[in-house]
Amino acid sequence: MNERVKRALRRDPRAWFGIAVVVLIVLLAVLAPLVSHGDPLAIDLVNQLQGPSRQHWLGTDIQGRDVWARLVYGSRVSLTAGIISQVIALALGLTLGLTAGYKGGWVDEVVMRLADVTLAFPTLLLLIAMAAALQPSLIIVFFTIGVVGWAGMARLVRGQVLVVRQLEYVHASKALGARDTRIVLQHVLPNVVAPILIAATLGVAAAIMAEASLSFLGLGVQPPTPSWGAMIADGRDLNQLRHAPWTSVSPGIAIGAAVLGFNLLGDALRDALDPRHAAKSGAIEAPASART
């Protein structure tokens, strides 16, 4: 990351907020046993639906489990779902996008038609169909979200490769006898890293929402594993919403904050990596002749 990008990120409050949220979620996930203040699986029916207190910072749920403890351990599921699913989507999308954009011809047609078919279905409905067809589990959730997300990544990569492969130094490398693999890895791939990084950051937020949606519907992480979406589902009945709103409001706020943090970080990265926007915002100093 060059100095211009670092300077632009330092001046962007969205980057600071996004980084703060991401760091907080990572710390909660890593230090969950130390900061959970209780066992997320411990059932205590005597103290069910207790309000926030010194012993239970965010109260208890319908089964007397500590909401704060489940919220902290649920951050592990959401963060892992976001990262692993994006790794899968990135691996598939990057490989197929590079191949389609560089090779062209029938390879490009086949890959793009597969991407069109995938994108033709509403994402949530496709996730529900795939999760329902398979045995719901944590691994299936990661795999399903990653597989569904490959198409958008592949189209993005292909579009960048179509531009880069027409540049003069790429033609020069071909004329010198360089192999396609070397050209792609040394000349094409470095030029598509920036948009991929932005898309992956925004994709983590989408994956967190997708995992929460599947868990809310009972097709994601299975009980008793803590999950933000499952916590909202457990507290969705009208009686709890009226008398114990903390059981669903707390995980809802956590999901909203996580998604907002990753989205703001992705927006800040997009603007910082765009030289035109950086010049307008002052991250790139104007030439001396222009200033005078």
Distance in angstroms (rounded) separating the CA atoms of residues 233 and 26: 24
Find all residues with CB under 8 Å of 69, minimum gap 6, and list them: 36, 37, 38, 39, 40, 226
- Map residue 47 onto helix, strand or coil: helix
Q: How confident is the model at residue 287 (pLDDT cuts 50, 70, 90)?
A: very low
DSSP state of 38: S
**CB neighbour burial string for 69-89, b if at least 16 within 10 angstroms, e if fewer:** bbbbbbbbbbbbbbbbbbebb
Q: Dihedral angle at the C-alpha atoms of 54, 256, 84, 198, nearest 10 degrees?
A: -140
Task: Assess whether pLDDT exceeds 80 at residue 224.
Answer: yes
pLDDT mean over 176-194: 83
Distance in angstroms (rounded) separating the CA atoms of residues 89 and 176: 34
pLDDT mean over 220-232: 88
CA dist 119 → 36, 95, 133, 148 (Å): 39, 18, 19, 8
Residue 269 lies in domain:
3-286
Number of domain units in the chain: 1
Distance in angstroms (rounded) separating the CA atoms of residues 283 and 149: 33
What are the residue ranges of helices labelled H in 104-137? 105-120, 123-133
- The residues that bridge with 66 in the sheet, in sequence order, are 60
pLDDT tens digit sequence for 2-56: 777 788 888 889 999 999 999 999 999 999 999 988 889 888 888 888 988 888 8
Structure-model confidence comparison of residues 268 and 284, the more confident one: 268
| Res 80: pLDDT | 92
Q: Is residue 292 part of a domain?
A: no
Contact assessment for residue 61 and residue 45, using Cβ atoms and an 8 Å cutoff: no
Mapping DSSP onto H, E and C, the string for 197-258 reads HHHHHHHHHHHHHHHHHHHHCCCCCCCCCCCHHHHHHHCCCHHHHHHCCHHHHHHHHHHHHH
The domain spanning residue 117 has which CATH number? 1.10.3720.10
Q: Is residue 274 part of a domain?
A: yes
Q: Is residue 140 part of a domain?
A: yes
Q: Is residue 240 part of a domain?
A: yes
Distance in angstroms (rounded) separating the CA atoms of residues 263 and 37: 30
pLDDT mean over 266-274: 85
| Res 186: pLDDT | 84
Distance in angstroms (rounded) separating the CA atoms of residues 154 and 92: 8
Q: How confident is the model at residue 1 (pLDDT cuts 50, 70, 90)?
A: low
Contact assessment for residue 148 and residue 92, using Cβ atoms and an 8 Å cutoff: no
Task: Assess whether pLDDT exceeds 70 at residue 148.
Answer: yes
Task: Assess whether pLDDT exceeds 60 at residue 289.
Answer: no
Structure-model confidence comparison of residues 209 and 222, the more confident one: 209
Sign for the CA dihedral angle at 45, 49, 51, 52 comes to positive
Range scoring the smallest mean pLDDT among 11-25, 59-73, 86-100, 187-201: 187-201
Structure-model confidence comparison of residues 20 and 192, the more confident one: 20
Mean pLDDT of the chain, nearest integer: 86
Q: How confident is the model at residue 236 (pLDDT cuts 50, 70, 90)?
A: confident
| Res 292: pLDDT | 40
Phi, psi of 58 (to 5 degrees): -115, 20
| Res 265: pLDDT | 92
